Structure 1
Amino acid sequence: MRFRKMPAIAAIVLLPGVAQAIGFGVNLNPAVRVEVADKGNGIYEVSTRGTTAPVAYWCGIGDYAIRTLRTKATQRIYITRAYEKQTRTVQFSLTPPEGVDTTPGYSVTVKRVGENLSAGSAQTYCYDNFLDFGF
């Protein structure tokens, strides 16, 4: 019985470290790459490779805002330039664009300037299986 307890205890102790090293949820599909570039003046450009799913863009900016910019999870992130098919990019800002309706919609989109999510909500898409489907 003691022989069974030791591997179980070791697994419980080591599992969080292994999960962090592997990066569970951050990139479920190795063919999907998300890059964020600081364009200055509080504008961040997100580009993707392997998918054009809106959740990939929101995942990228949400994760970047929380991990790199150290924003709170409640910080709103706004689209300042909608999805451009030619460059496969979307631009975001932590401040709302002027003169645009920022009332959140009911669908996840990157095609409307002013659309916004909290940084925490955006980051949760990094753990979503939608990135596997390649929408």
Structure 2
Amino acid sequence: MNRLVKISTLISLILVPGFASAIGFGVGIRPAYQTTVTPMDGGVYEVATSGSTAPVTYWCGIGDFAIRTLRTSATQRIYIYRAYEPGVRTVQFSLTPPAGADTSPGYSVTVKRVGANMTAASAQGYCYDNFMDLGF
């Protein structure tokens, strides 16, 4: 019986990645959302999304823009300059901390707190998050 479980587990580990790729999970698949980054005055960038309003979508947009377009280093911190507003559906980010904002690190990914921040690499990493492809 123990041998059967081991063989079944091994077969599953071999077949599941191929099956997941065939149905569209994983990195490299164009997700069903898009972000648009618009430069504003004073080094502020506004991120708008379509297809998802999940916080990771906004962070993905600004992280990818910072690294690919602005050519920032992966360790550059990105700060929320103006938090998410439901009616507007945009978030404004800056590469410098907003005056008077609490920039202490948090444990959750949010777009609702001015001063929340992460590195450009961490933000861009959400572009490759498998959950993004599933529309969660």
**Both structures adopt the same fold (TM-score exceeding 0.5):** yes
Q: Give 2:68's aligned residue.
A: 67
Asked whether the 8 Å contact 1:61–1:123 carries over to 2, the reply is yes
Contact between 2:29 and 2:133, CA under 8 Å: does it hold in 1? no
Note the 1:95-114 alignment, pairs <5 A.
Answer: 95-114=96-115
What does 1:15-94 correspond to in 2, within 5 Å?
A: 25=27, 28-29=30-31, 31-94=32-95
The residue that corresponds to 1:120 in the other structure is 121
- SS of the residue corresponding to residue 59 of structure 1 reads helix
The structure-2 alpha-carbon separation of the partners of 1:26 and 1:101, relative to structure 1 and needing over 3 Å to count, comes to farther
SS in 1 for 2:57: helix
CA distance in 2, matches of 1:27, 1:95: 32
TM-score (norm 1): 0.77
Which amino acid in structure 2 is aligned with residue 66 of structure 1? I
Q: Identity across aligned pairs (percent)?
A: 68
TM-score, structure 2 normalization = 0.77
Query: What's the CA shift string for 1:12-62, capped at 9, x where partnerless?
Result: xxxxxxxxxxxx847632x31111000121000000001011000000000
Q: In the alignment, is the contact (CA less than 8 A) between 1:77 and 1:119 conserved in 2?
A: yes
d(CA) in 2 for partners of 1:103, 1:72: 21
| SS, match of residue 73 in structure 2 | coil
Shift of 1:129: 1.3
User: What amino acid sits opposite 1:90 in the alignment?
Assistant: V
